[in-house]
Amino acid sequence: MTSFTTTRALAAVLSLATLVLSAPSARADIKDYEFRLTQSELKQGNGVIVTVQLIDRRSGKPVPDAVIIAKRLDMEPDGMAMMAAPIETSASTEPGTYRFKADLTMAGGWRLSLGAKIQGETGTLENKLTLKAVP
């Protein structure tokens, strides 16, 4: 038999292993995406609309239909990480753009932490953005 069969079997296993191992690198990685603020300075106040774009860094194009699974707004940039502000998702106006309504209760630096799932990608995108509330 058998050295021929064994060699073929081994070759099949090896090529399968190569396929499996090389598959992830051919696809996009969650690190290829990032959120960007469309405006990093906002007027301090209640019900402020904070707008971010989700960008595919390879193409520079906006990415629609991501699901925001976590969001937090706090004053960590000004040494007040415990000072969080109410933030809720708001209706988006265009594909790839995500909007939030927030109470910027104090002038100064705010950190927007976002977690999101992207269609067709595994893992969770986690970004921290810094914005400034001006009086």
Task: Enumerate binding residues for Cu ion (CB under 5 A).
Answer: 75, 80, 83, 106
Tell the smallest beta-carbon distance from residue 103 to Cu ion (Å): 12
Question: What is the rounded distance in angstroms from the CA atom of residue 20 to the CA atom of residue 16?
Answer: 6
Of 97 and 105, the one with the shorter C-beta distance to Cu ion is 105
Nearer to Cu ion, 75 or 102 (CB): 75
Taking the least distance from each CB to Cu ion, the nearer of 80 and 129 is: 80
Torsion over CA of 53, 54, 56 and 57, rounded to 10 degrees?
A: 60
**Is-contact 130 110, C-beta < 8 A?**
yes
Q: Provide, rounded to whole angstroms, the least separation between the CB of residue 108 and Cu ion.
A: 6
Closest approach, Cβ 106 to Cu ion, in A, equals 4
Pairing of strands 41-43, 125-134: parallel
